[in-house]
Amino acid sequence: MPYNEHRSTSRILDILEILSSSNDGYTLTEISKQINAPKSSIFPIIHTLEQRHYISLKPEDGKYRIGISAFAIGSTYFNSKPLLNHIVAAMEEVVSICDETCSMGILNGSNVLYVAKIESPHSLRLVTHVGKKLPANCTALGKALLSRTNFDEIQALFPSKLLSCTRYSITNINELYEQIIKIKDEGYAYESQEFTEQIICVAVPIVKDGKVLFSVSVSIPTFRNDNKKMSIVKNELKNLKLKMELLLRNYTGDILI
């Protein structure tokens, strides 16, 4: 017999999840609206989380952000996953050659959850962070993750209007599916200023037994992109895909989650 979620526990997790998705943080009022709970009910939870350093409050703007204790737990998870360490090592190699930001994500509902990221050495680069969730239709990572889904599955994931991040985001489900079909044939997913203007992105799906487990992308500011750069990026992503899928072929441990 299934159990209903414990309300207080659910609220704790809701608070941590929304704070992990924002660099700027949220006020108590904003958190209350986001999780649809009265401030009087969640204030004791917020206070306890702050006291235990799972979240922190900046007095100057009155906003709460993820704290060091949450980071410590996340780091433990990261270190307990040997496969993830292999993935990060391969991503570091990609960045060393491409000089651009490399990200890895998994599908979380209709969103991409960023699990790992290696920064570009350049000061001007894609701004996102591990733990952030973005609409899958707005990112190359997301499109790659959807590359083995059929139209009915896409519709189930996006029952209402597709969200947009910029004026270039794809908001038509048929157009999204047309791009997804091409990924399986071409091997690459593309995003052109659909999450952040002036940033383009290329991604590859990592597949085991016909299922996409995760995807890896490289993001490039438009002014640094040219045919040579794109060729290098695609070649390195192809090599990473081959390396990861070979590793996964005989891998019997816990994949990611």
Domains and CATH numbers, the chain: 7-71 (1.10.10.10), 81-249 (3.30.450.40)
- Give the mean pLDDT of 102-117: 92
Phi-psi region of 109 (alpha: psi -120 to 50; beta: other; left: phi over 0): left
pLDDT value of residue 1: 39
CA distance 253 to 135: 29
pLDDT band (50, 70, 90) for residue 174: very high
pLDDT value of residue 163: 87
| pLDDT tens, position by position, 22-63 | 778 899 999 999 888 888 889 999 999 999 988 898 888 889
CB atoms within 10 A of CB 134: 22
Tell me the whole-structure pTM to 2 decimals: 0.71
How high does pLDDT run on average in the chain?
Answer: 87
CA distance 162 to 165: 10
pLDDT value of residue 180: 93
The single residue listed with the structure tokens 């986001």 is: 34
pLDDT value of residue 256: 57
